[in-house]
Amino acid sequence: MTETATFDRDRSSAATHPKFLSIWDIQAYYGESYIVQGVSFDIHEGEILALLGRNGAGKTSTLRTIARLDDPALRHGEIWLDHKPLHKMKAHEAAASGIALVPEDRRIIPGLTVEENLQLAQIAPPVGWSLERIYGLFPRLKERRRQEGVTLSGGEQQMLAIARALARDIKVLLLDEPYEGLAPVIVQEIAKTLNIIRDQGITTIIVEQNAVAALKLADRAVILDTGSVVYDGSAQEVLEDEALRQRYLAI
């Protein structure tokens, strides 16, 4: 188990020998509030990583920092995607480089059908999966393609949010609480879908309060506590270590 109160790494490794996605000592703030406190981890291409921790641990803020959103503001550290310095980019540049964030509230656009939500994502390059390919992965969306997106069930809206990300040419999928409010059978369905997406070579980071469900899906886990990394290792090891889960994940 790689459990540690501090997580340190040689600075040169991030810039000269990055993994597919490499995060080095990122420190981010909301105003003067220090939220992301020196987070570091690497992800291999096609890997699913569960980013876990209690409420307020800094998980969503870490995702937003990787996606290069304005809040929280990155004040220190580096983020490398396939040898490209995301830390030097704006959000739209990071998106064009292959980062896709699916936020907790899903952001389905009112007044547009399922298909129009997908087509809107494909207006500007880089375009990703075709509608035919998306509907092959999400047959339920094909059945409802003429239905207004915001009238879908919660599970269907989550599928649409993921599908809309795939409509772009993405390399990394960032999922914030994708299972929230969903029935167990829908959670299993989305998990199967994420496994298929992994098989296509897309890297995924999943932030999820349903830690057990996320760990069953993930290859690796990173656990945050008060904005810092306290565990980086096997997802299976966390599943098997009840004491570790109680220490950092129990509510």
| Structural domain contains residue 112 | no
> If we measure between CA atoms, which residue out of 251, 192, 247 comes closest to residue 217?
192
Number of domains in the chain: 1
- One-character DSSP codes across 236-251: HHHHH-HHHHHHHT--
15 pLDDT more than 60:
no
Quote the pLDDT of residue 17. Answer: 38
Residue type for 117, please? N
Residue 106 located in a structural domain: no
Say whether 119 sits in a helix, a strand or coil: helix
pLDDT digits 0-9 by tens, 214-229: 999 999 999 999 999 9
Q: Give a yes or no: residue 241 inside a domain.
A: yes
* DSSP character at residue 41: E
- Cα separation of 8 and 219, whole Å? 22
CATH number of the domain residue 60 falls in:
3.40.50.300
242 lies in some domain: yes
Provide the 10 A C-beta neighbour count for residue 102: 23
pLDDT of residue 251: 65
pLDDT tens-digit map of 106-150? 999 999 999 999 999 999 888 999 999 999 999 999 999 999 999
Global model pTM greater than 0.75: yes
Amino acid at 30: Y
Amino acid 207: pLDDT: 98
* 152 in any annotated domain: no
Report residue 156: phi and psi, to 5°: -70, -35
Could you tell me the residue range of the domain that residue 244 belongs to? Answer: 11-98+171-248
